[in-house]
Amino acid sequence: MNASTANLTKLMPVVPNPLSCFSVTAYIAIAGVTVPLTFLSVALYLGVLMTFLRHPALITPFTVHIMSLSVIGIIHGIGFFPQATARPISGNWLNSPLPCAIFQYFMWVLPTMTLLQDLVICADRWVAYLIPLWYHRHSSVKRGLLATMAVTVWLHGWYMPLNILNYYTPMANRFGCDGTAYPKYRSIVIAMVSYAPEVLIYGSYPVLLILLWRRRAQKLKVRNARVSCATSAVLSTDTAANNGGLSKRGNQAENSNNTLAMVLLFLKLTAVIFNAVPTVLMMVSATAGRYPPRCTWDAFHLSEQFLAFTQFLEPVIYLMTLSGLRQEFRQMFLNAFFCFSN
């Protein structure tokens, strides 16, 4: 790269004044809101995990995915948000290879890990819908953990070679900590671990929601129909077959699981939309060896701060949709409160 690009590289980790629409003071004020939210979200994730561990009966083939998301959320709060918050305020520490490698791991790998765990949840809901009898007979906590391990290995198998290559590449040759000297390889990695899962999740889950709503409407129609005793017996048999032989309590649990997944993925889709456009603009600009358009940095950093709000909402969604978890969490909180008060 020529000298002008090398000089530009030194400025990339910090928000350049000509390109930024926000001042450092504004970012400090934003951090004053998002940092407490991040601490609170980590506390809620820890509370959710403690509730599951104290009451193993709450751990099911579905809720084990919630435990995995909670672990990822805690790592996000500890590793991702401090760096994402500090960077627009002062990013000079990213000019060295090792801090930059750590930054890239948390910025690139952890958000994708959340996405792949969402893919596991989406696949879980599809299996539960298409083959409910098999799902409730053969699904297990062990299978859920194996699915999480599989996507974790898949993600790191693609990303870690790129991180290692970046670490041994001079900073000037990769246009700062956002860029890479291997843009084609990076594009392939992102396509395999990010774009493809996003298409599968956000493309298939609306279809699944429509099918679930149709099935629920059919059940309500059967339940409210006035039929003779003989016809009622036949319809009851059909309904049991549609439910895969599930009990009433099993149906309620499945409804809660579907509601949680629906709200959770809608929240994630909103965060993805906020983050996608500035991320693409920054990647294209870094690959072309030039600055991104004005205010792109602000849009990108604000989208990362918006993740603090979504991370705070996630454990709240768990507690609102899973009644058993909510009751035990509340009891644990009350017991801790009385212990400290006494």
Tell whether the model's pLDDT for residue 158 goes beyond 70. Answer: yes
At residue 299, the pLDDT reads 85
Q: Is the pLDDT of residue 48 over 70?
A: yes
pLDDT at 195: 87
CA separation for the pair 166, 171 (Å, rounded): 8
Give CA–CA dist 32/253, Å, rounded.
39
Q: What is the pLDDT of residues 284-330, one digit of tens each?
A: 776 676 777 778 888 888 888 887 788 889 999 999 999 999 999 99
**What is the residue range of 284's domain?**
24-230+253-341
Which pLDDT belongs to residue 131?
92
Q: Is residue 40 part of a domain?
A: yes
In a domain, 7, yes or no: no
Determine, yes or no, domain membership for 6: no
Look at the pTM and tell me if it is higher than 0.85: no
Say if 313 falls within a structural domain.
yes
Are 292 and 285 in contact by the 8 Å Cβ rule? The answer is yes
The answer to whether residue 246 sits within a structural domain is no
Helix axes of 323-341 and 24-54: crossing angle, nearest 10 degrees: 100
Residue 4 lies in a domain: no
On the question of pLDDT at 139 being above 80, the answer is yes
Chain position carrying tokens 């212990």: 339
Task: Tell me if 1 is assigned to some domain.
Answer: no
Instruction: Find the mean pLDDT for residues 14-35.
Output: 76
Amino acid at residue number 294: R
Question: CA-to-CA distance for 284 and 261, rounded, in angstroms?
Answer: 33
- What is the phi/psi pair of residue 16, to 5°? -70, 135
Q: Lowest-confidence range among 32-36, 53-57, 241-245?
A: 241-245
> Would 239 be classed as within a structural domain?
no
Can you give the CATH number for the domain in which 195 is found? 1.20.1070.10
Give the whole-angstrom CA distance, residue 163 versus residue 158.
9
Q: List, for residues 77-117, the tens digit of each pLDDT value.
A: 998 888 888 888 877 888 888 988 998 898 888 888 988 99
DSSP 245: S
DSSP string, 46-115: HHHHHHHHH-GGG--TTHHHHHHHHHHHHHIIIIIHHHHHHTTT--GGGGSHHHHHHHHIIIIIHHHHHH
**Over 80: is that where the pLDDT of 67 sits?**
yes
| pLDDT range class, residue 126, cuts 50, 70, 90 | very high
Distance between CA 33 and CA 168 in Å, rounded? Answer: 37
Helix%, strand%, coil% for the chain, nearest 5: 85, 0, 15
CB contact set of 97 (below 8 Å; sequence gap of 6+): 167, 168, 171
Q: 41 pLDDT band (50/70/90 cuts)?
A: very high
Give the count of domains, the chain: 1
